[in-house]
Structure 1
Amino acid sequence: MDVQATRVVPDGGYGWVVVAAVALINMTNQSILSVFGQLFVGELRQMQGDTFTAALITNLNSLALNFSGLFIGPAIKSFKPRNVAATGCVLVWFGLTLCAFATQSWHFIVGYSFFVGFGLGLISPSTFMAINSYFTSKRGRAVGVSLAGAGLGQVLIPHLVRYLLENHGFRYAVLALSALSVTGLVGAMFLKPLNPTGKHNNHRHMRLLADADQADKHQSSSLQVVVVPASNQTKGEELIPKTETICGRLSQRLVQSMDLELLKDFVFWSIIIGMALVYTATVNFTMIFPGFLGQSAGFDSQVVAFCMSAVAGADIVCRLLLPIITDHLRIPYRVVFLLGTAGLFAARCILAQSKDLPIIIVMSVLIGVMKSATVLNNNLTISSHCRSEKLAGGLGLSMMSKGVIVISVGQMLGWVRDFADSYTICLYAQAVILLLVVLAWTPEILFRHRKQRRQRRTTTKSMETTVDGGEEVAKLNS
């Protein structure tokens, strides 16, 4: 009997305990990304590191995080979400501990970029899989609450980092964050699988594949060429047997496993590249925002921490409320993402021109609101475009596009900051990237919307014509 067929999804119950556990993991691990600039930039400056180096560290972190999606599926099948999430927490702890004892900038690349990035890459999909098994209709709310944990961490941790840096120094501040990340193991303990299926034996699976390949090799090598007289040969008949090479089989399996057929869709390309550009601009803004407030605007560390908390506070509130509003109004996920991108563009431009604290606080809140619109609707945009059987591949390709663009365009933004020696110009460069996404997406979305309206009108008219014809036939028969 199939276990999957008899599985009952509670759509709540113990699932809310899993949501709380995931929120704890996100609060103590995922929120660490938001304090990179506040925590590491000062230490990098003492090591003679520039903004380009800081951008390289954050971009390599994003690269490791996103490209971990290549093999996260087999890891979850073999070791279960609980163990994968726990491993991610341990890797984050180990990476931060290495950073605490760093003496050169490349130590941060090893500790923060690779270990922390890879650990966060394991945490995100495994915790989502744990929630996904417990919820159906309430899945969006559950994901929003779990992501709110990361937002809560972004509110509290900047103040903790400020206190630790001012009173205990860089090393103890990083060690405190590494100890905080270990508490994610407590949350991982509660990621109990729902009606777990049979154990996936990867070793046996690989052995069967190897045996199949050997059988194919033996079959192809045992083929013999038969000489047929010319008189018995039919015109156009091919006597050379068609054999499939090992490379052909591997490439076909790669295409099927990663759903590379999606790359034939131009709209899909537009979606993943646009979301990757927005993601890159967000990562770069998180890195330079403390420097802009401290050096360009001239505020002290307390005001810097308050503005960062304003961004995170608005983000966490909207992560809880925005799914309810958009679901009620039935606004397409991609449209909400586009509106959030346009709002981020406007906020960047106003923020770059202003040095007044009230305006900066308002723009910080606006950036938090618009950021939540893009974060919440990232995967939902992919799911609304791809069929269910292609969704996993679509998410993986989206993650890889983020990794490629963040290491290229993200490094360009770091170079702009160093070359111009201005945080303001860097904000304008981010705004240009966001504007490109708005200009590329808006005509396409409007065209598809009008096309769908015409199709609905045509369908409605054909149905009305059918109904009218049926009524006339009925009258004649009567």
Structure 2
Amino acid sequence: MSLEKNTLMPASRVEKVTKLVPPDGGWGWMVLMGTALSNIFNQSMLSLFSLLYGDALEAMGHRTQGAAVVLSTMLFVTNFGGPIAGAIVKLSSPRIVALIGACSCTTGIFLSGFSTNIWHLTFTYGVLLGLGLGFIQNSSFVAINSYFKLRKSQAVGLANVGTGVGQTLMPHLVRYLLENYGFQGACLLLSSLSLHGICGCLLIHPVEWHMKKVEEEVTVEEKLQLLEEKHKNIVIRKDSKILSEITANGERRGTESSLNENVKELNLVKTSVSDVNDINDKSAPEPTQKKGWLKKLYDLFDISLLSSPRFLNIIIGTALSVTSIQNFSMLFPFFLQKVAGLDKQHTAFCMSAIASADICGRLILPVFQDKYRIKARWMLILTSVWLIITRQILAYQTRFEVLILMSCLYGFGRSMVIVARNIAISEQCRVEQVPAAVGLGMLTMGLIVPPAGYFLGWIRDYTGSYVVCITAQNLFLVVLLVMWLPDMLLLWIAEKKSQKKNAEQMQMS
């Protein structure tokens, strides 16, 4: 019976095809170097605000409230600049968007040195620098995502090491510049260093320049699919007459050499064309309709992504994780000084311990993730559990030695949130949707971070307890776990069922 079945079925044929795939290295390492260079001198400005502009704000007659206005504006513009950057990437390229962002950062730092009131500083630091940082974050991730597939987490981690290096070294440089050249001189020299970011962005070549050819063995069915995707103007039907028409009219469809080659390949696989009855419907060209400006904006920003509950779940979860770590970073120095009773020097040691461990985490954890093919969302779930336990223990410590150890553990775990957040978003969409998806993720952060920050600040002022505030920050990560764990378990069960079904089909064949 099985012999009769085999004779009725078409014989499977395996042939070699050449595909263009991302280099997963090569010039991609130069892209990482350029991104890291830009991060050292631009992204690190996020942590330098109080040190660089604190005295200038006091001279303008503003203190904590004025600083909050400028910082909130900068975070708002950075996150809301993400969707704009995503749209420009679709219209141009990541390289152009990164260059615009780097130029905006340099201009903002330069002009901030001439600020005479808080509104000048809000425009220069808040708007120009914030917009530049939003453009750089979006475009650099899109560029790295296009160059790397197998080692994506490792690549993003290496690019983000530049931010960690900048946060470690730049405060010492800023202190030196302020002492020797004053506020205006420090801003001018920092803007000149920011020009290195423009040089780094020039290293972001289009990935099409560096694609590599890979030969793969595919079956007849796979080859049909590849041909259909490559030449959508060829309608594949099971009727042999239409195949002969394609052969007769092939020269009018494109270049002679490539199309005749494809016709030969189609003739080779005629016996199995009956398995693709639905391709005709998918391949038929749809009548072109004129799009209105609303529809064009809808497509440009890929708003259709928001119709997916899973995508919404992911961007809200990543926003919660970023909100939690950002608020802890702002609260931690005050906790060390007012609760643990540390002086500024010991506080600086704890902050340096976090930054150093963060760099180590960005180098080590992505390698571990790529080696064992762990999804970014699982890494964020494991990281959230790590941060909850670490911070809750840290909240009750006062000894300097223990605080240094807990700072290192916290910084090591925090690094994965920075690395995996955009990867988790990109895993839920197609390659061409990545710029818009990352932009929508940043937009969600812009909507969640400010009110959540005010809420956590209110908890601290109302209770008068740093421990309660840290616990509230951990609750944001608990909400992330509640949102993500059921969905990830459902995906895991579905994947196991699919593997079991494929194994049964293989046994039957």
* TM value normalised by structure 1: 0.75
Match of residue 311, structure 2, among 241, 258, 268: 268
Between the aligned partners of 2:334 and 2:61, the Cα distance in structure 1 is 16
Query: Contact conserved, 1:21 with 1:190, CA < 8 A, in 2?
Result: yes
Match of residue 144, structure 1, among 157, 170, 180: 157
Q: CA deviation at 1:402?
A: 1.0
Between the aligned partners of 2:343 and 2:499, the Cα distance in structure 1 is 57
Amino acid in the other structure paired with 2:140? T
Match of residue 34, structure 2, among 21, 45, 60: 21
Query: Is 1:397 the equivalent of 2:397?
Result: no
Q: Which runs of 5+ in 1 are unaligned?
A: 198-244, 471-478
Q: Deviation string for 1:190-218 (max 9, x for gaps)? A: 44446679xxxxxxxxxxxxxxxxxxxxx
> What aligned pairs does 1:95-106 form with structure 2 within 5 A after superposition?
95-102=108-115, 104-106=117-119
The residue matched to 2:322 in structure 1 has which SS?
helix
Structure 1 pair 310–271 and aligned structure 2 pair: CA distance change class (3 A): same
Match of residue 346, structure 2, among 295, 300, 303: 303
Number of the residue aligned with 1:188: 201
Number of the residue aligned with 1:352: 395
CA RMSD of aligned residues (A): 3.4
Amino acid in the other structure paired with 2:348? A
Between the aligned partners of 2:461 and 2:471, the Cα distance in structure 1 is 14
Number of the residue aligned with 2:381: 338
Number of the residue aligned with 1:476: none
Query: Is 1:63 the equivalent of 2:49?
Result: no
Between the aligned partners of 2:61 and 2:385, the Cα distance in structure 1 is 36
Number of the residue aligned with 1:240: none
Amino acid in the other structure paired with 2:130? G
Structure 1 pair 294–45 and aligned structure 2 pair: CA distance change class (3 A): farther
Between the aligned partners of 1:463 and 1:8, the Cα distance in structure 2 is 30
Q: CA deviation at 1:330?
A: 2.3
Amino acid in the other structure paired with 1:188? C
> What aligned pairs does 1:355-374 form with structure 2 within 5 A after superposition?
355-374=398-417
Between the aligned partners of 2:208 and 2:480, the Cα distance in structure 1 is 43
Query: Contact conserved, 1:140 with 1:323, CA < 8 A, in 2?
Result: yes
Query: Is 1:72 the equivalent of 2:82?
Result: no
> What aligned pairs does 1:186-335 form with structure 2 within 5 A after superposition?
186-193=199-206, 249-335=292-378
Q: CA deviation at 1:317?
A: 1.6
Number of the residue aligned with 1:89: 102
Between the aligned partners of 1:82 and 1:387, the Cα distance in structure 2 is 20
Between the aligned partners of 2:153 and 2:194, the Cα distance in structure 1 is 26
Between the aligned partners of 1:62 and 1:371, the Cα distance in structure 2 is 19
Identify the range of structure 1 (139-148 vs 314-323) with the bigger mean alpha-carbon deviation: 139-148
The residue matched to 2:374 in structure 1 has which SS?
coil
Number of the residue aligned with 1:34: 47
Query: Contact conserved, 2:357 with 2:409, CA < 8 A, in 1?
Result: yes
> What aligned pairs does 1:91-130 form with structure 2 within 5 A after superposition?
91-102=104-115, 104-130=117-143
Between the aligned partners of 1:120 and 1:407, the Cα distance in structure 2 is 17
Q: Which runs of 5+ in 2 are unaligned?
A: 1-17, 211-288
Identify the range of structure 1 (153-162 vs 126-135) with the bigger mean alpha-carbon deviation: 126-135
Between the aligned partners of 2:67 and 2:101, the Cα distance in structure 1 is 23
Query: Contact conserved, 2:337 with 2:344, CA < 8 A, in 1?
Result: yes
Between the aligned partners of 1:431 and 1:95, the Cα distance in structure 2 is 35
Identify the range of structure 1 (131-140 vs 313-322) with the bigger mean alpha-carbon deviation: 131-140
Q: Number of residues paired by the alignment?
A: 414
Identify the range of structure 1 (375-384 vs 65-74) with the bigger mean alpha-carbon deviation: 65-74
Number of the residue aligned with 1:155: 168
Number of the residue aligned with 1:438: 481
Amino acid in the other structure paired with 2:44? S
Query: Contact conserved, 2:90 with 2:435, CA < 8 A, in 1?
Result: no
The residue matched to 1:377 in structure 2 has which SS?
helix
Amino acid in the other structure paired with 1:395? V
Q: Deviation string for 1:368-413 (max 9, x for gaps)? A: 2222211111122122222345434322221211111123222323
Q: CA deviation at 1:360?
A: 1.7
Q: CA deviation at 1:421?
A: 5.5
Structure 1 pair 56–272 and aligned structure 2 pair: CA distance change class (3 A): farther
* TM value normalised by structure 2: 0.70
Structure 1 pair 132–261 and aligned structure 2 pair: CA distance change class (3 A): closer
Number of the residue aligned with 1:218: none
Identify the range of structure 1 (271-280 vs 71-80) with the bigger mean alpha-carbon deviation: 71-80
Between the aligned partners of 1:423 and 1:447, the Cα distance in structure 2 is 37
Q: CA deviation at 1:41?
A: 5.5
